[in-house]
Amino acid sequence: MEFVNEVLDFLQTGFASINKMQGLIIAAVAAFLMPSWRRLLYIAAGAVIVHVVIDTLLPVLARNAAFRLPELLEPSYWRYLGLLFVGYVCVIAVFFAVKRVVLKR
């Protein structure tokens, strides 16, 4: 039962990390571009990459800050990427389901 609680907590944290304006816009565009359910994991991985690129470049472009690479060697950063991936899978799946119902192809 403890394992189930950890998985649910991971899913909830991933969803909460996407539930911001930037994440919702990325997920909506990704769902609009997604052709079928089979592409969900690939589209979510691409959304994570776009999210990381925006997080990295936004301070540079908006505030002329110094360019800093993400902490790729830190385990906490990889956990953050995993949370983003799980969150994007959930949100893109919901957006795609709504798209399929509304647009009925």
pLDDT digits (tens, 9 = 90+) for 35-85: 999 999 999 999 999 999 998 888 888 888 888 888 888 898 998 899 899
What are the boundaries of each domain within the chain? 2-103
The C-alpha atoms of residue 95 and residue 100 are separated, in whole angstroms, by: 9
Q: Is residue 23 within 8 Å of residue 88, measured between CB atoms?
A: yes
CB-hemisphere CA count at 13 Å for 84? 23
Mean pLDDT for the stretch of residues 79-103: 91
Q: Quick one: the chain helix, strand, coil %, rounded to 5? A: 80, 0, 20
Question: Which residue's structure tokens are 């592409």?
Answer: 39
pLDDT at residue 15, rounded to an integer = 65
- The mean of the pLDDT values for the chain is 86
Average pLDDT on 79-95 reads 91
What's the whole-number mean pLDDT along residues 81-97? Answer: 92
Among residues 89, 88, 94, 92, the alpha carbon closest in space to that of 31 is found at 92
* Cα→Cα distances 8→5, 25, 55, 78, 90, Å: 5, 24, 26, 19, 12
Q: Which of 6-15, 59-68, 82-91 has the lowest mean pLDDT?
A: 6-15
